Homo-oligomer: A and B are copies of this chain.
């Protein structure tokens, strides 16, 4: 028999995820910082909770999907936070992308209350959230994942248990380091190709299928060539996630030379008002440096 579930945070990602849980027929109670946003969910069959504490009191499992480390902290441990309504045996699943170190601290605080915890950041963007095709990387106990699996399956296509608490966040940051590193390679290659007078689409199709291939090249390369900067994932979010990666790297003492460089480039683009463009607009930083642009197709 399905448990009662709560969902905290109906932003660009949480919205689609909560809808999929409701559509799947689960008993869902939602909460959002801006209360008006809950109306459509109530219309679709959910209940609305007055606060994270109220939702936690009413439910067995509480899913969280907010922006950054302080937001998770506020939703869990702030005034009227979920912790006030949680009791032994309940389970919290955090889908936000936040600090692995803070995640472990949160998990410990909940553990002192007998509350179970999984960190379960997602990738796949708002489209994946809407379609229920997210990749979910989870840190925590296998039994807790089994307990959450029916609900996770309503939201994501790939559910991977990657280690203990905090490991989900750590893997998410590994993911982000790769995404931007591959994008930098694509940007530098496209700029070189432009300077070399190549037909960029032909060049792309000649190399994308082999050892030079990457998801970013195949999916964002054509967008760059078309100068289509609409986001799959915005620079603002990318910059936030890279900051998490750099701070984690800093605490662990691991050098992230390329990621630091890329962070600087994203931060600068953001400062130039491009924060809502897609992360492939990294190309623009190299264009500024080079003094010429990749010509649209």
Interface residues of A, Cβ cutoff 8 Å to B: 100, 123-124, 135, 137, 158, 160-163, 167, 170-171, 173-182, 184-186, 188-189, 191-199, 202-203, 205-207, 209-217, 219, 232-233, 243, 245, 248-250, 252-261, 263-265, 267-268, 270-272, 285-286, 288-291
Give the secondary structure class of A's interface: helix
The count of identical subunits is 4
Name the contact of A255 in the complex, choosing from B167, B199, B211, B265 (C-beta under 8 A): B265
Q: Distance (Å) between the CB of A206 and the closest chain B CB? A: 4
Contact yes or no, B181 A189, CB < 8 A: yes
A205–B213 CA distance with the chains assembled, in angstroms: 17
Q: What chain B residues lie within 8 Å of A123 (beta carbons)?
A: 207, 210-212
Q: Whose C-beta in chain B lies nearest to the C-beta of A173?
A: B192
Q: Distance (Å) between the CB of A164 and the closest chain B CB? A: 8
Q: Distance (Å) between the CB of A99 and the closest chain B CB? A: 12
Max chain B CB contacts within 10 Å: which of A195, A216, A217, A259?
Answer: A195
Q: Whose C-beta in chain B lies nearest to the C-beta of A181?
A: B185
3 closest Cβ pairs, A-B complex:
A181-B185, A253-B271, A178-B212
Contact yes or no, A135 B209, CB < 8 A: yes
Max chain B CB contacts within 10 Å: which of A214, A216, A255?
Answer: A255
If A211-B232, A253-B290, A255-B268 are given as contacts, then 10 extra A-B residue pairs at C-beta distance below 8 Å, sorted by A number, are: A124-B211, A135-B207, A174-B203, A178-B185, A178-B213, A179-B212, A181-B189, A250-B267, A258-B261, A285-B289
Contact yes or no, B249 A265, CB < 8 A: no
Contact yes or no, B179 A211, CB < 8 A: yes
Contact yes or no, B290 A289, CB < 8 A: no
Name the contact of A198 in the complex, choosing from B124, B170, B255 (C-beta under 8 A): B170
Contact yes or no, B174 A207, CB < 8 A: yes
Contact yes or no, A171 B215, CB < 8 A: no
Max chain B CB contacts within 10 Å: which of A179, A249, A257, A265?
Answer: A257
